[in-house]
Amino acid sequence: MNGLDNLIQTVWPAWEPFSWLELGLLAVSILFIIFSGFLLQKFWHLPAESKRLKSRLKVFRAFNFLIVFAILLNHFILFTDSPGWAHKLLGVVMVIFSAFWATQITGYFIRRRYGRRREFNNEKIISETYNSRLLSLLATVFIIAVALIGIIQVLGFSSLLEAGGMIGIFGVMLALTQASWAPDIISGLIILNSGLVDEGDVIELEGKDDTIAMVYKTKLFHTELLNLVNNHRIMLGNAKLRGMLLQNLSKFASAKGLREVLRFKISYDVPEEKVRACFQQAYDKAAEDDEISIQNDHEMQLRVFDTGDYAVEWALYYYIKDIRNLVKNRQLFRAEILASCAKHGISLATPDLQHITPQSQITVSQNDTV
């Protein structure tokens, strides 16, 4: 028995019972891991299959696993009377965990207070505004500064020189990397403040192939766009987006709506009256079609856009307010015009180049030689 008692006394210091603080942290971390999906879904109001929710779940669970691991490591393996590196690791993880979720929760309440509520795909969401983004950045900077001071204290850098060295290292890292993050943050604030491009707007990006897309979300460093033609997402840095030539189709200047134009090349042989009758018939049928969202309370405008060597280019102008179905309306309207032209015997194919010379100019004199 004495040998067993001596063995217990030898091993017991490393297996001292958990303190109430350790038990509380373990219990809270394990409960967070188990109910993390339910808690974050209720807090952020995101669907279970959302990528944003899944990424936040991974980070949330990873931090809780680190806390559990650090508590067990500190208690069972490296338990000493003076705080060891495992104890410091636990403190650093707790500070980072608290700072991360403090920024998330603070940003959430700032968006609810200063954000703009809108509807997307029959779902009400809160989008960023200039005020919410700016306040979130200021709150994040303040929380990071407090967390950095807390980490310095946990690591034991109590002297002014050591603390100044840690802050200096952090400042040098920010200075060296500012070219990769500062322009996007500043450009994002400018975009939100100008109001030229808001979430939900349909824009056209000028480039090799003009892209028509809807602004899905303006984030801190980039903007997510939804391509209306291919139905996939595009990610553009805020600085690059601000430097591009783009047209905001949702912010039309007239109460009539967006003035759209479709161009067609028709042969010189087709009379103008026939062309106008053909397009008017197509316009009337399109106005009666529920799938084509044109403003039928305004008359169409048919103009000669160009008179080239091969054909006359006609421009058909009409108004539309359902901007999100812009591509669909163009396709269906073109189909109506194609069917109407077929009925009127008008070809939309570009004719061959022809030069008609009056007969008097091609009469060859009998005295002329070839």
Lowest mean pLDDT among 31-45, 107-121, 123-137, 170-184: 31-45
Please report the pLDDT score of residue 305 as a whole number. Answer: 93
Which residues is 116 bridged to in the sheet?
Answer: 127
Residues 6+ apart with CB under 8 A from 101: 60
- Tens digits of residue pLDDT in 191-246: 888 888 888 889 988 765 678 999 988 888 889 999 988 888 889 999 998 888 88
Higher pLDDT: 94 or 317? It is 317
Please report the pLDDT score of residue 8 as a whole number. Answer: 44
Angstrom distance (rounded) from CA 106 to CA 192? 20
Residue 369 has pLDDT above 50, yes or no: no
Phi, psi of 181 (to 5 degrees): -125, -30
- Tens digits of residue pLDDT in 54-73: 777 887 888 778 778 777 77
Please report the pLDDT score of residue 195 as a whole number. Answer: 80
Q: pLDDT class for 363, splitting at 50, 70, 90? A: very low
Residue 168, classified by CB atoms within 10 Å of its CB into exposed (0-12), middle (13-18) or buried (19+), is exposed
324: left (phi over 0), alpha (psi -120 to 50) or beta: alpha
Average pLDDT (324-344) is: 91
Angstrom distance (rounded) from CA 128 to CA 134? 10
Q: pLDDT class for 114, splitting at 50, 70, 90? A: confident
- Tens digits of residue pLDDT in 68-103: 877 777 666 554 444 566 677 777 878 888 888 888
Angstrom distance (rounded) from CA 118 to CA 125? 6
Helical segments of the chain, H only:
2-11, 20-34, 36-44, 51-72, 85-114, 130-154, 160-194, 238-243, 272-288, 326-343
% of the chain beyond a pLDDT of 70: 80
Angstrom distance (rounded) from CA 234 to CA 214? 10
Average pLDDT (140-159) is: 81
161: Cα within 13 Å, side-chain hemisphere: 0
Through-space distance between the first and last CA atoms of the chain, rounded to whole angstroms: 134
Angstrom distance (rounded) from CA 197 to CA 129? 11
- Tens digits of residue pLDDT in 179-190: 888 899 899 888
Lowest mean pLDDT among 134-138, 205-209, 302-306, 329-333: 205-209
Residue whose token pair is 């997307």: 120
Higher pLDDT: 353 or 218? It is 218
Angstrom distance (rounded) from CA 185 to CA 198? 16
Please report the pLDDT score of residue 351 as a whole number. Answer: 74
